[in-house]
Chain A
């Protein structure tokens, strides 16, 4: 056989092996999470090597336990989910309100300091988050907003604005300028062009950017840990899960149910926005 034929055969087979292994490796932890969330802890301890749930062991008490408030003997994840939702939704809305005009300005208008703004945004991602965490902890404590959902939201907005401006700007640049020029000829102001032409045209990207911001805020852990650990009523889902996972009081399969509740909203949103999201994030990469 020629080298070409050998290589074609080897890579043809290797390709399928790689695909199968990758699918198993990426999906297995999620499968395991869901599997364990439906069994009582004794079953896990008795049969640690089981890869499915026999029907007689199937239970929903893990979910009841994890969702019920602490007053009712549960873990209060329903409350944590509400906190997470409040923070993530407000972050997404406020970030968009601030980032849309900014990305329009960076994409379309020439103004003093335009280049500096882009550099400033890049610089934000070069520093370890922990470096700003120290002063923010001290400063927010002094202002009295450290142990509150408001303080957390402010930090999340600042963290997500640069990436939102990047995603929106890349898209706005693809809208032909001629549309705006025509409106301008008819005497429309910048504000009117932005609200009545650009925003409707960019709506799909705006929605996917907003959902991406929601996902970042929902998943965030460090600042929730620094700011809110002291007050259980304010815990987000991520913080609640990590705090309870460290202890021995709550059984692991109950916390698996908590993990599923933390993960499912993200997977659903990701399923809805996958295409727009991947295109927004990689814009520019295909040009090399």
Chain B
């Protein structure tokens, strides 16, 4: 037996050779991982705790420079957030936005993955195209969408009024029911590639014999999908749903760039930003952000506890 197999085995004690080499490995492992841990602690964990402290204090940009971090604790920020009807409105918008964007992007991603399952000439190229919305810079694509949907000179309204008999150009990003629908469509467009990527990888890994046997038995394509393929990719769909829900719930860039949070699209993260930059209310913004994280963590806990039996190891 070599030393490293001993070293990678669990340090159960016993023979001295094992404990020396595993102790050396342990020290090497800690040294190698330390810079990473320090950076993540300094930029994520410390700010998270600090955010919690700020949420319990009455601070704004004008006072924070003089008072430092030790201020009397107060619950005003939390009562302020929880009794503000616009907070609950933004939470509702966030939930609608997250659920529809997630469901839509996974559905479109699944359709795309199934359509591209059988090989054909140029499939590799089409696959690369599919991922472009996901990798392209959000500022650039959001700007192009703004121009495309512009009521005065956007191509969509120009074609719509010319060929589809629209009476008036539609203000896709500036009027209440349309704006939220548009940002959801944008989100589906931008993130269906993510679902497509993972579902394609999973479809590639499916064992061939089951489907071949089913085909010999004369199942139709829809039966094959419903009874053979879907049960096998369900864990990936469940995992994608959780991942995308978390990501969309926390999303800031897309809506901020498209509408700035106007016309009924002020999701929670945009609201926090507007609170911070618009009214310099650090304590209020921190409390708002904290309540959001608590809601998200609570929902996740319920999901993991009651619904998810497996799939957590595959991240």
Could you tell me which residues of chain A, from 199 to 250, have a CB within 8 Å of some CB in chain B? Answer: 215, 218-219, 221-222, 226, 237-239, 241-242, 245
Distance between Cα atoms of A161 and B126 in the complex (Å) = 31
Known: A184-B3, A245-B143, A262-B137. A134 touches B54 (CB 8 A): yes
Rank and list the top 3 A-B pairs by shortest CB-CB distance, nearest first.
Answer: A111-B29, A286-B205, A158-B43
B296 in contact with A126 (CB, 8 Å):
yes
Expressed in whole angstroms, the minimum distance between the Cβ of B166 and any Cβ of chain A is 12
Can you name 30 A-B residue pairings with CB atoms under 8 Å? A8-B221, A11-B221, A18-B112, A19-B115, A22-B112, A29-B145, A32-B144, A44-B153, A49-B155, A106-B33, A110-B25, A111-B26, A120-B40, A127-B250, A129-B269, A132-B51, A135-B54, A142-B65, A157-B39, A177-B5, A218-B137, A221-B139, A242-B139, A245-B143, A252-B153, A260-B140, A263-B141, A267-B136, A270-B128, A288-B314
Distance between Cα atoms of A222 and B254 in the complex (Å) = 10
B residues bordering A, Cβ < 8 Å? 2-5, 7-8, 10-11, 22, 25-33, 35-37, 39-40, 42-48, 50-51, 54, 64-65, 111-112, 115-116, 118, 126, 128-133, 135-141, 143-148, 152-155, 157-159, 162, 189, 193, 197-198, 201-202, 204-205, 218, 220-222, 232-233, 235-236, 246-247, 249-250, 252-253, 257, 268-269, 272-273, 276-277, 282, 285-286, 289-290, 292-293, 296-297, 300, 314-315
For residue A127, which residues in chain B have a CB less than 8 angstroms away from its CB? 44, 48, 250, 293
For residue A27, which residues in chain B have a CB less than 8 angstroms away from its CB? 129, 132
B135 in contact with A278 (CB, 8 Å):
no
A285 in contact with B314 (CB, 8 Å):
yes
A22 in contact with B143 (CB, 8 Å):
no
Chain A 155-169 near chain B by CB (<8 Å), digits 1 or 0: 101110110011000
Known: A49-B162, A134-B276, A222-B252. A284 touches B314 (CB 8 A): yes
B2 in contact with A185 (CB, 8 Å):
yes
Total residues of chain A contacting the partner, CB 8 A: 106
Expressed in whole angstroms, the minimum distance between the Cβ of B298 and any Cβ of chain A is 12
Distance between Cα atoms of A260 and B2 in the complex (Å) = 56
Known: A45-B153, A158-B40, A161-B36. A126 touches B51 (CB 8 A): no
For residue A287, which residues in chain B have a CB less than 8 angstroms away from its CB? 205, 314
Main secondary structure of the interface of B (DSSP, over half): helix
